[in-house]
A and B are shown apart, each in its own frame.
Chain A
């Protein structure tokens, strides 16, 4: 049965290759830091099951130390530059879109059909993980398609991927890290504490007040943490699951989907989400440090109110 372990193997192979390519990139002054960082990330995919909780924790902290103290550098792909890309884009034209659109198309088809593929009485794909497996398959197929249509080789794809990853640097892993942090917070009982606080503050039987506490709580906690991924486990363990789903019998799908999007409203309002709200300020040469946040706050506030009403209407 093809499941998560196969996807992890693929991810481990990709990041492992990126680590090796980084180690040989003399254009990058910090190539060893990059190689160690992505090598450790690859290790967590390939051997995470055998490392145990403590081992994985040490691995994550080592990555943070490398990124925080040594810092990561920017590598350069060997065989490409802006001029080359421009001329290739002109030559291939709309064909480029076919490879890009192959990914969502194949993912959707796979997610819908994989659960039905049964060989010898057993499902070929892990029914719990069809979406991720379909996503991984779509990436491989899109790469094969690009190889056939455009004539670029697979090593080139990995090398370009490395350059893109170096541009994002450690921030590429920020969502995962923050999601893990949120899970640790929830395990430590922060969710329960939030839930108790809310239970005391709002009328016990008011569905609307409970929904509003969840959506606004998601937005505020996201604004504090800078990312909805850290807020989601805490607020959902504290308010979403025990009150909206268990107590009032709300639909967990609607609760989670609109709850997460309420968190995104918080992301629009906070300097903690530096990569979205502060970094572009320097990039665009704007004097007012908070100009983007100011431009976004009215949309965020109105949408948060709409989200609260949407959840109240559809979750029960």
Chain B
């Protein structure tokens, strides 16, 4: 894909999807702030924004980095619970078992799916608005500094 096609929104949306899907497969260590966000995702998101909007002030660049880091967290939290052998599922199962209720890990993980979909839709919408906000702020900054 050419860089022009890769907007900040599309990059973050794609990362959210990949992070959620891989976490749902139990591969939580594939993403993360030191492994993926700092070396790869946040430079890509910043570069895409600057390719479109021109050089950005540090405050806006930092907002993009924070948004990328937050996207990693959202993807991880609302993906990992779909994997049946993740810690939180085992904790839920163990706690219910101690209280005399037997549940299957698979059922617990299936009931994480509605929230996972909602998390994706909500955060994706917010990323879209974030990109619009970014364009507006960049234009305002240009005006005051030209």
Contact = CB atoms under 8 A, between A and B. Distances in A.
Interface of A: 100-101, 103-104, 107-108, 111-112, 128, 131-132, 134-135, 164, 167, 175-176, 179, 183, 228-229, 232-233, 236-237, 241, 245, 252-254, 256-258, 260-261, 264, 267-268, 276-277, 279-281, 283-288, 291-292, 294-296, 298-299, 302-303, 306-307, 310, 314
B99 interface: yes
A232 B109 CA distance: 16
A284 B37 contact: yes
Interface residues of B, number: 55
A296 B73 contact: yes
A107 B26 contact: yes
A15 to B, nearest CB: 16
Given A104-B25, A132-B85, A232 B69 contact: no
Contacts of A310: 114-115, 118
B87 A131 contact: no
A100 B31 CA distance: 13
Contact of B87 (A229, A283, A306): A229
Contact of A280 (B26, B33, B90): B33
Contacts of A285: 62, 65
A256 B122 CA distance: 22
B114 to A, nearest CB: 5
B29 to A, nearest CB: 7
A261 B116 CA distance: 9
Interface in B41-83: 42, 58, 62-63, 65-70, 73-74, 77-78, 81, 83
A232 B95 contact: yes
Given A257-B92, A286-B65, A292-B73, A280 B37 contact: yes
B70 A292 contact: yes
Contacts of A100: 27, 30
A132 B105 CA distance: 10
B141 to A, nearest CB: 16
Q: Which of B81, B95, B99 has the most CB of A within 10 A?
A: B95
Contact of A295 (B63, B95, B106, B107): B63
A296 B78 CA distance: 13
Contact of A257 (B58, B77, B99, B112): B112
Contact of A268 (B73, B85, B97): B73
Contacts of B77: 261, 264, 267-268
A310 B114 CA distance: 8
